Amino acid sequence: MAAHGGDQLNRLILFFMLTAASLAAAQSSAKNLALVNGEAITEEDVERVAGGRLRQLEQMGPQPQKDYERERLAIRWRALNYLVERKLVRAEAAKQDISEERLLDREVESNMETLSDEVVAAFLDVNQGRMPLTRRLSRREALSQVRAYMTEQMSKSLLDAYVEKLSRRYSVETFLDPLRTEVATAGFPARGTASAPVTIIEFSDFECDHCAALTPTLDSIQKYYGDRVRRVYRQFPLSYLHSHAQKAAEASLCAHDQQRFWEYHDSLFVNQRRMTTEDLKRHAASLRLDTAAFNSCLDSGQKAAAVMSEVDEGYKAGVSSTPTIFINGRMFSGNRESAEIKRIVDEELRRPPN
């Protein structure tokens, strides 16, 4: 009887040992999608956060496989970025021995700017065509909704910038396939050959200080990589913030008609504080463009629709601020250091050809 009981106990011990070993093996084989300061974020972690959205995607009606795969990847990236953000904020809060809420209040919320009534109204006026639902509201209600949207975007932008700062302080590696967005390049101002393995598309505003700061960086990147990098310029004037940005964008396209876009582009960024209509004409004259054709093009407003069409395409691609660049479809917002851009370009150059 005692022997029988001992055998049963041994079998139970063996069972639990095997179960523990199987669990450990399963955990060790879990695919890591990121490492944050040496701490893993697994595929299971991401699936747990993204599960509801992924199930909704599965329940949607038939859609092209390419669209389905991209949306599935986008959902997983949003979940992964959230988990990375939480780990970084938690690590920094612990380091400073304060709560996460206090840290974010100090680093994000306290840096929020008060949006003036004029800026909110200008944003609504410029973008009302892209927000058809606001037409059903009173002016006051529409402005209230726009203010809430702009405030949310500002908060997100500040949080993203802070998380990016933390990601340089603590090591972050991600292993999920990059999310890529298709952005048209045909017919737009470009430097470099169309066959270059890496294309950098820049959505920019000639009156934007950060865009001006990024310009020499992109110049140096193109010089460094030569014919391996192609650069494409896309218009995204923030007219509600910059009173001359729309007309400057039109002027650059008038110069493009004379195959002088890049010279004019450089002139505008060097002379950012001189962008009245008369200044724009003087820049063209200093570059010895056909001033009669240029002035007629600018005064007639014939490029206005083309500029607004590019802004629409930018919004559809996810652009909300300038500068925003796409490196082989991978989106990066804000001014970026040369080393970071080179790292991404090198990754793309190592990719096997399609």
DSSP string, 77-139: HHHHHHHHHHHHHHHHHHHHTS-HHHHHHHHTGGGPPPPPHHHHHHHHHHHGGG-GGGGGS-H
Per-residue model confidence (pLDDT) at position 18: 42
Q: Among 25-39, 115-129, 262-276, 296-310, where is mean pLDDT lowest?
A: 25-39
Helix or strand holding residue 195 (H, E): none
| Residues paired with residue 39 on neighbouring β-strands, in sequence order | 36
pLDDT band for position 16 (cuts 50, 70, 90) = very low
Dihedral angle, C-alpha 42, 47, 48, 52, nearest 10 °: 170
% of the chain exceeding 70 in pLDDT: 91
Number of other residues whose CB lies within 10 A of the CB of residue 36 = 22
Query: Can you tell me the mean pLDDT for 116-130?
Result: 93
Q: Among 17-26, 236-245, 267-276, 281-290, where is mean pLDDT lowest?
A: 17-26
CB-CB contact of 39 with 72 (8 Å): no
If you search the block for the tokens 């691609």, which residue do you land on?
317
Q: Among 127-131, 216-220, 321-325, where is mean pLDDT lowest?
A: 127-131
Helix or strand holding residue 314 (H, E): helix 304-317
- Nearest CA to 334 out of 343, 315, 319, 321 is that of 321
Query: Can you tell me the mean pLDDT for 110-126?
Result: 94
Residue 11 has pLDDT above 50, yes or no: no
- Nearest CA to 185 out of 313, 320, 350 is that of 313
Question: What is the 8-class DSSP label of residue 228?
Answer: G
Rounded distance between C-alpha atoms, residue 294 and residue 299, angstroms: 9
Residue 1 has pLDDT above 70, yes or no: no
Q: Which amino acid is at 348?
A: E
Pull the structure tokens for residue 135: 């037409």
Number of other residues whose CB lies within 10 A of the CB of residue 332 = 16
CB-CB contact of 147 with 120 (8 Å): yes
Query: Can you tell me the mean pLDDT for 157-178?
Result: 94
Per-residue model confidence (pLDDT) at position 61: 80
Predicted model pTM: 0.85
Per-residue model confidence (pLDDT) at position 132: 87
b/e code 205-228 from CB counts within 10 Å (16+ = b): bbbbebbbebbebbeebbeebeeb
pLDDT band for position 189 (cuts 50, 70, 90) = very high
Per-residue model confidence (pLDDT) at position 226: 96
Number of other residues whose CB lies within 10 A of the CB of residue 299 = 11
List CB contacts of 161: < 8 A, sequence separation 6 or more. 334
b/e code 121-155 from CB counts within 10 Å (16+ = b): bbbbebbeeeeeebeeeeeeebbebbbebbeeebe
Across the chain, mean pLDDT equals 91
Rounded distance between C-alpha atoms, residue 352 and residue 354, angstroms: 6
- Radius of gyration of the chain from its Cα atoms, rounded to whole angstroms: 26
Residue ranges per domain, the chain?
112-171, 190-350
Per-residue model confidence (pLDDT) at position 59: 92
CATH number of the domain at 190-350, please?
3.40.30.10
pLDDT band for position 354 (cuts 50, 70, 90) = low
Question: What is the 8-class DSSP label of residue 227?
Answer: G
Per-residue model confidence (pLDDT) at position 6: 52
Residue 21 has pLDDT above 90, yes or no: no
Per-residue model confidence (pLDDT) at position 8: 52
Rounded distance between C-alpha atoms, residue 317 and residue 329, angstroms: 10
Q: What are the CA-CA distances from residue 6 to residues 16, 18, 245, 281 (Å)? A: 15, 18, 85, 97
